[in-house]
Amino acid sequence: MTTTTVSGPSANCPNCGAPVKFLWSSAIQTTCEFCHSILVRTDVDLKKVGEVADLPPDASPIQIGTEGAYQNKSFVVVGRIIYEYEQGGWNEWHIVYNDGSSGWLADAQLEYDLSWAAKPAGSLPPSDQVQRGQAYPWNGKTYEVTSLTKAHYKGVQGELPFEYWNKSDLLFVDLRTTSGDFGTIDYSENPPLLFLGRAVEFDDLHLKNLRDFEGWT
């Protein structure tokens, strides 16, 4: 991991004693780079709550420390959640903007979406009632349900804005608009969480500090 624009306090891993540096001061959870313990911040110290199994091989060009900018707002990647479903896996990269706010950059087979936690006007549909083709008006736009994905959590890495580990089967509902907006309802929490954002092209993200691929320069 290299230098980033966001700095935060550091501590030591309660499991192995290695230094744990926070890139984002508001992080609730992180992982130890050395012993792969999942660490949750309490008021006083770090508490080990679990351990990350070996991360599945993935070919996202993004890594923790990747920097980018979207619409003149720069960000740095500080953590991720890895999901898997029957047609592959995807990464939800946790990104922190230079104003201290945080969001998500999804990379699903190199299709990129940026999103932010959103508060829906009205309540979200219960998981057993949501269907493809349903439409919801949010922020003056019509979001249509395009896919329901049953996924499972495969691992976490780095800093997250909440405690997130040891999850099992999960339902994600993706929504799209006619103007390139993106929404996802995460049914892992009750009530479910809504994230709204946009589909983005790789070039729109102006990413730096990416992974290299053998045979590609």
Partner 1 sequence: MAAVQAKSISCPNCGGAVELRGFAHTLSAVCPQCHSVLDASTPEVEILQKFEGKTQVKPTVPLGARGKIGGTEYEVIGFQVRQVSSPDDSYSWNEYLLFNPYKGFRYLTEYNGHWNFVHVETALPEPTFARGRPAWRFAGTVYAAFDSMTASTVYVLGEFPWRVKVGESAACQDFIAPPSMLSSEATGGEITWSRAEYMTGSQVWQAFKLSGSPPPAYGVFANQPSPYGGSIGSAWRTWLWLNVALAGLLFLFIVISPGRVAFSDHYAYSQNVKNDSAFVTPTFQLDGRNSNVELSIHTDLDNNWAYFNFALINDQTGQTFDFAREVSYYHDSDGSEGSRNNNVIVPSVPSGQYYLRVEPEMAVGSPYVRYDLEVRRNVPNYGFFGLTALLLLIPPAFTTFRRGGFEAARWRESDYAPVSSSSKDSGGDDD
Could you give the C-alpha distances from 215 to 57, 66, 88, 207, in angstroms and in order? 18, 21, 23, 20
Q: How far is the CB of 108 from partner 1 (least distance, A)?
A: 10
Which residues does residue 200 pair with via DSSP β-bridges, in sequence order?
112
Question: How wide is the angle at C-alpha 156 spanned by C-alphas 143 and 100, nearest 5°?
Answer: 65
Which residues does residue 175 pair with via DSSP β-bridges, in sequence order?
145, 183
Structure tokens that stand for 26 in this block: 């508001």
For partner 1, give the closer residue by CB, 67 or 113: 113
Q: How far is the CB of 160 from partner 1 (least distance, A)?
A: 21
Question: Which is nearest to 4 in space by CA: 67, 97, 74?
Answer: 67
- Residue 214 binds partner 1 (CB under 8 A): yes
Which range in 7-15, 37-45, 70-78, 175-183 contacts partner 1 by CB under 8 A?
A: 175-183
Site map for partner 1, 40-79, x if CB under 8 A?
----------------xxxx-x-x----------------
Where along the sequence are the contacts to partner 1 (CB under 8 A)? Answer: 56-59, 61, 63, 87-88, 109-111, 113, 132, 144, 146-147, 176-182, 199, 201-203, 210-216
